Chains A and B, each alone.
Chain A
Amino acid sequence: AQTIHQWPVAEIKAVGSPLSLGCTIKGKSSPNLYWYWQATGGTLQQLFYSITVGQVESVVQLNLSASRPKDDQFILSTEKLLLSHSGFYLCAWSLGDWGGAEQYFGPGTRLTVL
């Protein structure tokens, strides 16, 4: 069975500090991968997607970057956090057409920037 794991579960970070969030998918080969951001009580904003290892497309510029170093791993990072980065970060995967298939979401990482 496929599983999706995100780490850490939650983070409290200072403005200006670096950040690295991770996501791994087990049990699926060559999935499409996505990062989303959800402001508290807000809608979802797709940040990045990746169709294959080493290739990441940016959807929205939020002073964040993403990388896919392995087929089953997706990393979201920034060197300098802003207050506006606070929220709920969700990783998701899908198979087939990257924009036209059911997506499976991870448990998410709650980020608080102070």
Chain B
Amino acid sequence: GEKVEQHESTLSVREGDSAVINCTYTDTASSYFPWYKQEAGKSLHFVIDIRSNVDRKQSQRLTVLLDKKAKRFSLHITATQPEDSAIYFCAASNNRIFFGDGTQLVVKP
């Protein structure tokens, strides 16, 4: 089955810097790649997604890149703010969804 790996378990950046979280997947049939954010002690909420028919998607300060050949996708956050601090989960789906282990992003003032 699908296996999603999130390469950074923790990422610490200074406020205003950019942050990049990288994920890889194994199943070439996966076609939907969402990202979710989980603040401490809370539930998940959707951040951004990308489908396999495109290789880039941007929403305000967030950009997702997808490299299907390398089976790799990444979340780029520009001009980070303290409220971006959270655990970010990447996921890959071909009907069934598989999540990575999460990356703890810490944005230091």
Contacts and interface: CB of A to CB of B under 8 A. Distances in A.
Nearest to B6: A43
Contacts of A90: 43-44
Contacts, number: 49
Nearest to B101: A43
B45 interface: yes
Nearest to A42: B101
Nearest to B51: A100
Given A43-B99, A43-B102, A46-B97, A100 B46 contact: no
A108 B94 contact: no
Interface residues of B, number: 22
B32 A100 contact: yes
A49 to B, nearest CB: 8
A98 interface: yes
A105 B100 contact: no
A16 to B, nearest CB: 28
Interface in B76-109: 89, 93-102
Contact of A107 (B31, B43, B93, B96): B43
A42 to B, nearest CB: 7
A46 B97 CA distance: 7
